[in-house]
Structures are given as structure tokens and as C-alpha cells.
Chains A and B, each alone.
Chain A
């Protein structure tokens, strides 16, 4: 047994021993007068996390919205011990001067735990130890407890089950996709605090130039501080603010997506009876701590706390503090600048977790080293027993809305704390008659509790703080809007109507409110044709430079994913949805937005499997989309201009990653893994298989595996002329690396034959002919490169991936049901 495992076992044993002794176990209380009382779980624990027993009902003081409410009952409820718990010494705490604790009631039904993994933040190299600790935590739970696994923002997972093996497998399969702080595409290695400072200063000093801001401004001082440690300070000063703003918007989107997924989880848990414990594991959520800075998440933490109240869920969060784990890891070699402030960065990332966990009655633990064994042991201990209070609400409380809850306990031992949620929802009194019966009827069965719960208009929370929903949907009856008119023409087959009616940005601005409301409305009333129309709006937005064009892609996606049938139920709609996702991803690829492609695919991960996690009945698979994911990741391996300059101490940048370029090589390996997924999921057609092979060969080449790359290319004579052209270009490059210059020239000539007049093949031939000493041949090909303009040049389309299919796919989407 490893040291880590021993530590966890020991911690678990302590936790289990801390569970109340149950010499005379009795049944858990059947809640009395359930129709009139509100159940409130309260955990009272010592500083060490041991439950405090023996509290009498008059020790509790409960208020709703600041008004004291009568406490009718206070029962102490303990969980049955795990089969592996072993003997207990009955170590429990009692209040000073307290009475001997009564035997707690034991719930026999088992509790519900959900392990929620924020895979977008968790780093692949660090998640293993945490998941191992989580598996042991699950093993230490009593057999009757149900455990679910939920990965987000994708939303895939395992329904709560008592099958421990299934849970262990689900945890084993989970992979983190987090990257360096602030993710891929952060060439200046900005830290959260620096991002907040720059965007905050930008907000306060809007008139200051963002390119090389003057040193006597706040923005200039911050930029100078950060850029002083860059390899090219002058270039850094030019672009840092723009990079920071771009990054902040992107991170904001990611954070909203992740919190949205968490809210979705709570919404689903609300449909399940009984209290639940959510164990949230995350590398943190970025929210500015500077007024006016970004990312700004508003009061979303508060919203999540309220939704936890609705779901009767307590959230315990494990914050994996990368800032300090990297520092703690002796071998990490993480570069630190004197201006870096890891403590502040940790605080920034942990704060949203605290805002989420605190109001739910849980708390945040910070992991600096190891797998979080003490955290899991503490959860075991804290959740081993609780007081179930029966509170009598006032009539004014019965409105079905979250109300602020306060629970105080008198006579606590020193250091003991009370954990209770900060919000309570008191249902309205049930009406009598058939309506009551209907209301009491169980919700329709769903394949999985992770299936989205279609919100009713009245309960649908407003998307407050969303960067993409600036105009909230109108609650009134729909009226015929300009959008409706344009759509009516589109649905009637006039596909050019968008371009005709919205020629200028002013045209768009005039109907913008209608568009926003209309798209939001369509989420409640989807049709395939509407989704196609929304996607075409995104293409127009890009072409016409409307604000936030990619937001239209998100809106269109939300229309498709709001369809009532989950994936797998309606083959016709499934086909449409898949083609839609392909097209949407192609739109993003066409504007060179690989990070948005990844975010899009993450957002639909509960519907379409593209990341290697095994598909479930509720998830569709599509090798083309998996390939698009790999292509986006491949695009992200290309260094920014600034990174190129910094490569190998100023050596010219090369496609081939040097052994020292470890980060680039790791990313290239990620691409290979994703290409493996694309090859294995679904049933890739021949063209897709060929493209997977060609891309795999190029990545192999870039890793310096020339022979392997050549073998792959020689084994895949692609039928698609475009892919065949890529193949021949890359074959030429690989042969040149193997010093087979004549063969390389022949391969390039083959590429030129496949795409006559293509400039890339001609440039490659000019280069290789020059190396061969064939000056005349080189000059001939260079002249061709200067004068021929085949469209599209195959190499240009390599990086825009599936955008080459967009016209055909959009034409197909237009045939969707209106």
C-alpha cells in the first residue's frame, strides 16, 4: 500500500471512528406533520469535524428572512456505518454541560452523494491522485448510500447507484482537460490577479491606449510590470491588454458555462427526494476581485446557493490549489516572477467555490498536496450525523421562493461550528382536487437523472449575468417581430433573406432586441429550421462584423439542445442535431476560433461524445465531430508569434518541436490521443479515416517521428483530392526531413498535380529545388507561386478544418422541419 493510500485509510478510520456510536439503533424519524413543517438539516461539528451530539431542541434558534420561527422537532440522525468501518470507540463530542447523547435515529434508505468533477479546470497530470482518494472515499461509505458521478461542463456521468464498482469505473474513466493557468492561448502567462488588474484598470481608464499604454497610467504600470519579464517586452506591451481582454471574455464564458452546468445538476437533483451531498472538485473558478475587472460572474454564486436549497443539497468543494501545488512540487520548475502573487491568485480562484458551498451549508477545503484525503475524511465525518429540525413556517414564508435561513445553536463547544444552508424554500400550500393530484404526480420518467429537466416558464431562472443574453425574454404573449418576418421568408425557402434584409450593421442594430428575444423564445419552442436560421445568422454576423458574432452560434446551439427528445429518441432529429453541431463547429473553425470549438464540444458533451469518454445511451457519437475536436487542438499547438520568437533562445521556429519544447510536445500528444478517439468512435467514413491518418502523420512529423509519419502517409492514399493534396505536401516535408530530397520533390509535384496552380505546392517545390541545387527549377516553381492562384489552396484549408464542408452542410440544414 502506498503512503498516500495509508494516509487515506488512516484518515478514513479516524472519520469513521468519529461517527456516533449506535448501540441501540432505531429507525430514522418519519417526519411529523410533513405538510406543515419545513425540514432543515443542520450539522453541528467540532473544529475537528466530529459531530456534536446531545443538543436539545431548545438549543436551536431558527429564523426565516430574519423572523424567528417555532421549532417543533429536533431529531438527531446518524448514517449507518460502512461495512468496512470496523469498531468504533464511540468518540463523539458533547456540548459543555450537555446531557448524555441519546441514540440517534439511523436512516436505512441510504444517502445520496454526487461527486461533481470540474474537468475543464482539472489538470490531467494532477487529477489522478484526487480521483484515487475519491474512490477510497466512496469505498468507505455505507453500502446503502448512493453515489453518482457528474462531470461538467459536459454533464456526462453516472446516476447515483449503490454499485461501487460502477462508481470506481466512472471515476477511473474521468480525465481532466485543464491546462496551464488560464488555459491554452495565454502566451504571456497572465495569472488570474494580473488579468483582473488589467481588465479593471482598462475599465477605469477607458481612454488610455491599449497598445503600449503610457507608464504614468495604472494600465501602463501594470503592463510594464508584467512585460518586464517577457522575452520581448516591447511586443508584449503592444498586445498584452488586448490579449488580456480576449482572455477575460473567454474565461468568463467558460466560468458561466461551468456554473451553468452546476446549476443544471442542482436542478436535476431537485427532482430526487431527500437530502444530497455534492462533493465538488475543481481547480477553481476565475472571478475578478477588482471592481470593474473581468471575468465578472455577478451574483451567480448566490444563485447556485439558492438552487442548492431547492435541491436540498449540501455542497462540499475541494479546491485544488494549482498556484500552490505547483510551488510545492519540487520538480515542477514553474516559473515565478517577483510580481506574481500566488496567495491572491488562490483567493481569486477559490472565492466562487466559497460562494457556492457556503450558502448550501457546506464549505471549501483547499488541496495543496496529495489527493485530498483529509478533505474526504472530513466529509465522511461531517455527514455522518446531523440534526433534522422541523420548523414551522409562517404563512408569508409559503411562496415557493428561496428565503434566507439562519440557524443558531446555543451552548456550543469551543471551536464548534453550525453548518446549515443559508436558504430555504417553503412550498406553497397544495391546492385540493385534481390539480393537486396532478401537481403531486411524479415527474415523467427520464433515462437518467442527468437528462436535462425542461424548465417550466415560471421556474426558469433568468440567466442573470450571462454575457450572451443581454435582453431577457419577454414574459408577455409573443408578438410578430422583425425577426419573425425574416424567419417566415426563410422558412418559405427564401434562404437569401438574411443577407438581403440585414445588409448593414445598422440594419442589424435596428432589430437586435427582437433577435435576442426571438432566439431566447425559440429555446422554448424549437424547430430544426429555426435552429438552422439562427446558425445562418451567426454566419451573417461574422461576415458583416456584427458585435459578438460567435454568440449567435451559442444561441443557435441552445435552440437545438432544447429539443424535448433527448438524443437517441428521435432518429430524424438526432440526424439533424448532429449535422447542426458539425456545421456550428465548422463556423467556428472558419474564423480560426479553436478554443471556441473546444468549448462548444464541451457544452454538448452530455449529448455527443467526442472526448474519449465512453458513449452512453444518452450520448450520440460522431467521428467527424471528434476529428473536429482533434483539429482544433492541433490548431492550438501552433505557437503565437510571441512564443515563436521565444523559441529555443531565438532560433528560427520550426514545425518540428524540439525535445526542450515540452509543452508543445505534450499538446501534440493530446492531439494524437484525440485522433485515436476520432478513429474509434462511431463509424468513420473513408474520407474521415484518411483525414485522421494525414493529421496523425503530421503530428508524428512534428514530434520528430519521421519514419512513422511516412509509413502512415504511404498507407493512406486518400481519395478526397483535398486530403490527398495535404497528404502529398506532408509526405514531401517528411521525405525532406529524411534527407530524401528527390523523393520530396516528387511528392510536392504530385501535390501540385492534384491542385494545379496551388501556391503552397509551388512554394514547397521552389524551396526543395533550391536545396537540390536546381536553381532553374526553383525559379520556375517560384514564378508559378507568384502568378497562379488556385482557390482554395489546399494548405489554407488544412487549418480551417471542416469549414470547407460548410456550404453543403448549411444547404442540408435548410431542409430541416420548419
Chain B
């Protein structure tokens, strides 16, 4: 069963008025509010109808009082990050175009979308134009670097709108070559970004003989750290369906808000989220968030 949690905001935030959609709640706050996205599912289906009282959330081990729980109300900012090195032939590129088109077609009128593609270069593509103009760099060859880590980092760091929820879908084979950031630095950026990262890992396997994408542990780590999931797509499976599932999974997740109490400000805050009444359900919550200019736990862990 899929469990997902997503903290929308990872930095101390004074939440001002946020009115983005007719159904969207209006929040007025004068204190620091943390927003956490939580996915609750049973047998692969989202568990609906949960209220604030159903959730238990601890910030650095201290139980918190939720000020609000909502679902399917806030508009979504979607960024698709597409690894063009995984589309070495024309049919794969066409499948990618179709899949992105499918997912864009599922967006609500008040949702936003953007597309970042990369091989040895990173570039943002205008998705508002008619037909997606995604082209593989003409100089790309099998030995050209695909800067996966750098591209994901560049795509994740975008302005946060408290009235919107942000997710990124990364389409990749999982291979990196030529990035300046290392894996640890990418995880660090992702942890601070406040964006849920969903991975669509493509492979050369088939449904009968499935194969994992390259670097699967890293992809899983990235998704876990941000509250996303990893979907593995074999070459004979529907790529577009995996994009749409990621979007729907995110849209049906709960948004929890609370004002931290009883915890020291600053640094890394560990989050524990559960739904006591749904013991059979899987609850996915990200591991925590950064507050204020922190000292990265990674810095401390890394050798000098």
C-alpha cells in the first residue's frame, strides 16, 4: 500500500492570506505555520474523509495540534522534469510527449505546470505553446553526460506559494553523469525545497521480465525525503498512466497545518505522522523539514 506525506513548507513561514481557488480555504496567521502533505491509502486506494482528529503528528517528538486538515482544495503547481537521455529514439520521445500531454490535460484550470528537460544541458520548456516543443540536443550522444542531479535541483528550487501545493514528477532512467552536485547535496536541496518529488523510473524491462531503473536506492531516497513515490515503468507499460497516477495520488493527499509548539526553533525537525484509527492503512509522511538557517545534518555527518 502506498503511503505518502508531503510537507508543503519547509521553512519558517508567516502565512498570509491565501485565496487561490473558489473552494480553497482562507488562512490568516500571525505565527509560524508548517504545512505537511500526507497521503493515506489502503489497498492502493486513497482513504477519504479523514479529519484533524484522525491524525497524530509529532514535531521532533512533540505532539502538535493541527489547525487545519484539507483535501483536494488547493491548486497544484506541477513541474515535470524529463531526462532526455532516456529517450534515445524517436518513439520514446513521442511517448514522453504524449505522457506529458496526458498529465497536463488532467490539470484543473487553476493549476500551473512547467517543464524542465535535460541531457547535458538543463532548459525550461514553454508548456503553454501549442504542442510540446521538446527536442533532444542535437549534439547529444550516448557518452554525453545527463546531469540528473543538477537538473532536479534546479527544477525544485522555485518560489513557494502558500496557496498552492507543489509537486515535481521526474522522468528518468536514473543515470547521472556530469553533475556538479553529488547525491548527498541533491537530497539536501530536495529536503529544503518543500516540493514533493515523484519519480517515474523507466527501464528496458517488460511486464513479464521487469527490471529496476538505475540508481533506484537514490530515487527512493529522494522520494522518501520529500513525500513522493517511485513508480517503475517497463518499456511495454503505459508511461502516461504513471504520470497521471502520480498526479492523482498527490491531489488526493491531505494537507495538514500546525503551528509548532514545544520545539526549539531552527535546524532539522523530524516529523512523525500517523492515523491511529486506520491501523491497516499506510501513511506516508516525509521525515522532516528545515527551519531557519540550519546546519545541515549532512554537513555534520560528512567526513572532514
Contacts and interface: CB of A to CB of B under 8 A. Distances in A.
Interface of A: 211-212, 214, 232, 234-235, 237-238, 591-592, 641-642, 644-645, 650-656, 658-659, 704, 706, 729, 737, 739, 759-760, 762-764, 766-767, 770-773, 775, 778-779, 781-783, 785-787, 789, 793, 795-796, 799
Given A238-B211, A655-B182, A759-B121, 20 more contacts: A235-B211, A235-B214, A238-B205, A238-B212, A591-B143, A645-B218, A652-B184, A652-B218, A653-B183, A654-B183, A656-B302, A659-B303, A767-B188, A770-B193, A779-B159, A782-B155, A785-B154, A789-B123, A795-B180, A796-B145
Contact of B178 (A762, A772, A799): A799
17 contacts: A212-B209, A235-B212, A238-B204, A641-B176, A641-B214, A644-B215, A653-B184, A654-B302, A704-B303, A759-B150, A760-B150, A771-B188, A773-B292, A775-B11, A775-B160, A785-B150, A796-B120
B187 A786 contact: no
B116 interface: yes
A760 B178 CA distance: 10
Contacts of A737: 299, 302, 304
Nearest 10 pairs between A and B by C-beta? A773-B293, A782-B157, A652-B183, A785-B154, A652-B184, A786-B124, A653-B183, A654-B184, A234-B212, A763-B150
A762 B154 contact: yes
Nearest to A233: B212
Contact of A786 (B11, B154, B175, B299): B154
B76 to A, nearest CB: 19
B178 A654 contact: no
A722 B302 CA distance: 29
Contacts of B215: 641, 644-645
- A235, A770, A772, A785: most-surrounded residue (chain B CB, <10 A): A770
B255 interface: no
A772 B180 contact: no
B15 interface: no
Given A645-B218, A658-B303, A770 B157 contact: yes
Q: Which applies to chain B's interface (DSSP): helix, strand, loop or mixed?
A: loop
B189 interface: yes
A500 to B, nearest CB: 19
B197 to A, nearest CB: 14
Interface in B245-304: 292-296, 299, 302-304
A729 B157 contact: no
B121 A789 contact: yes
A100 B221 CA distance: 83
B267 to A, nearest CB: 11
Contacts of A782: 153-158
Interface of B: 11, 116, 120-124, 141, 143, 145, 147, 150, 153-160, 174-178, 180-189, 192-193, 203-205, 209, 211-212, 214-218, 221, 292-296, 299, 302-304
Q: Which applies to chain A's interface (DSSP): helix, strand, loop or mixed?
A: helix
A641 B176 CA distance: 8
Contacts of B211: 211-212, 234-235, 237-238
A762 B296 CA distance: 20
B188 A641 contact: no
B174 A796 contact: no
A737 B184 CA distance: 13
B221 A652 contact: yes
B180 A760 contact: yes
Contacts of A656: 302-303
Contact of A767 (B160, B174, B181, B292): B181
A767 B122 contact: no
B189 A770 contact: yes
Contact of B216 (A212, A232, A795, A796): A232
Contacts of B214: 235, 641-642
Contacts, number: 149
Contacts of B147: 759
A659 B302 CA distance: 11
A212 B211 CA distance: 8
Given A659-B303, A770-B192, A773-B11, A650 B217 contact: yes
B180 A644 contact: no
A404 to B, nearest CB: 48
A764 B186 CA distance: 11
Contacts of B143: 591-592
A212 B208 CA distance: 11
Nearest to B204: A211
Contacts of B159: 779
Contact of B157 (A652, A653, A779): A779
A770 B192 CA distance: 7
Nearest to A782: B157
A704 B303 CA distance: 6
A759 to B, nearest CB: 5
Nearest to A795: B180
Nearest to B145: A796
A739 B295 CA distance: 9
Contacts of A592: 143, 177
Given A212-B205, A212-B211, A653-B182, A641 B175 contact: yes
A654 B299 CA distance: 11
Contacts of B175: 641
Nearest to B213: A235
B293 A772 contact: yes
B291 to A, nearest CB: 9
A585 B176 CA distance: 24
Contact of B181 (A650, A764, A778): A764
A707 B154 CA distance: 29
A592 B160 CA distance: 39
B295 A767 contact: no
B108 to A, nearest CB: 24
Contacts of A704: 303-304
Nearest to A766: B157
A105 B11 CA distance: 94
B159 to A, nearest CB: 5
Contacts of A762: 154
B218 A764 contact: no
A96 B209 CA distance: 71
A335 B150 CA distance: 35
Contacts of B184: 651-654
A749 B264 CA distance: 33
A786 B116 contact: yes
A274 to B, nearest CB: 51
A786 B126 CA distance: 12
B21 to A, nearest CB: 23
B181 A786 contact: no
A544 to B, nearest CB: 11
A650 B217 CA distance: 7
A645 B160 CA distance: 32
